Amino acid sequence: MASIALHNIRKSYGSLPVIHGVDVDIEDGEFIVLVGPSGCGKSTLLRMIAGLETISDGQLSIGGRMVNDLPSKDRDIAMVFQSYALYPHLTVAENMGFSLKLRGTAQEEIGRRVQSAAKILALEPYLDRHPRHLSGGQRQRVAMGRAIVRDPKVFLFDEPLSNLDAKLRVAMRAEIKELHQRLKITTVYVTHDQTEAMTMADRIVVMRDGIVEQIGTPLDIYDRPATTFVAGFIGMPA
Ligand code: ADP
Ligand code: MG
């Protein structure tokens, strides 16, 4: 677990500014949802936290340590994407252990961590199967398993459920929340779906055009939207 502090974070792509000074303090173990319309900068912000995108200006700290210049691989972070491409020729167990293998972790340790993650995610019966023999929900769990085996201090999710049908999406929301309640890993979860934000977040960060419009609990935001944009966006059907 680790707290995350963003202080006056800015980002430009070339000469085009897209993040205009974002301040957010995320507590240890918190489940934060970044929500806002497409193109408002959610992925950019998440990728800066992950170290996959440089920070143009401002300070980012994770677990009390300034990480602006720390390479992604040293940040103790695991990221789950929307397109969770699994390796089709590898089994579930091999998919989950792959990143550890790349890091030179001993086979025995990989086996132990994969078993433990499989247990948490109810994937034990499927460890020897190949992804094509899994349901959409099971594949999504394998994608989470790949992240869990690394024992990260922070979980980052970028629209992980967008490719799933509506029913499965609702089920997976509950699974991800349950996982968070069990592991208490600090989580930043990006979505453009306000219902997902309202049902999953400890606190919501509402973004618009590269700025933060409001930060608060789902109830705060629902009861007291700070701007007409927030009121309109949160009130809109998904
Ligand atoms: P969101 O995830 O909220 O949809 P993004 O963070 O992907 O938004 O994008 C924010 C803005 O930055 C958009 O205007 C997008 O076109 C622009 N952008 C994102 N990635 C790049 C890039 N690699 N190069 C140039 N512009 C980018
Ligand atoms: Mg995005």
User: Can you spell out the DSSP letters for 96-136?
Assistant: HHHHHHHTT--HHHHHHHHHHHHHHTT-GGGTTS-GGGS-H
Type of residue at 229? F
Contact 11, 55 (CB under 8 A): yes
Contact 60, 68 (CB under 8 A): yes
Q: In angstroms, what is the span from residue 19 Cα to ligand 1's centroid?
A: 9
Does residue 138's CB lie within 6 angstroms of at least one atom of ligand 1? no
| Per-residue model confidence (pLDDT) at position 145 | 93
Q: In angstroms, what is the span from residue 44 Cα to ligand 1's centroid?
A: 6
Q: Which residues of 22-33 are buried (b: 16+ CB within 10 A; e: fewer)?
A: bebebeebbbbb
| Per-residue model confidence (pLDDT) at position 4 | 98
Partners of 216 in beta bridges: 204
| Per-residue model confidence (pLDDT) at position 162 | 85
| Per-residue model confidence (pLDDT) at position 83 | 66
Handedness of CA 76, 49, 2, 138 (dihedral sign): negative
| Per-residue model confidence (pLDDT) at position 107 | 96
| Global confidence as pTM | 0.93
Would you give per-residue pLDDT tens digits along the chain (238 residues)? 689 999 999 999 999 999 999 999 999 999 999 999 999 999 999 999 999 999 999 999 999 999 999 999 899 999 887 666 899 999 999 999 999 999 899 999 999 999 999 999 999 999 999 999 998 889 989 999 999 999 899 999 999 888 788 888 898 899 899 999 999 999 999 999 999 999 999 999 999 999 999 999 999 999 999 999 999 998 876 5
Count CB-CB contacts under 10 A for residue 235: 10
Does residue 191's CB lie within 6 angstroms of at least one atom of ligand 1? no
Does residue 145's CB lie within 6 angstroms of at least one atom of ligand 1? no
| Per-residue model confidence (pLDDT) at position 238 | 57
Q: Is the reported ipTM for this assembly greater than 0.90?
A: yes
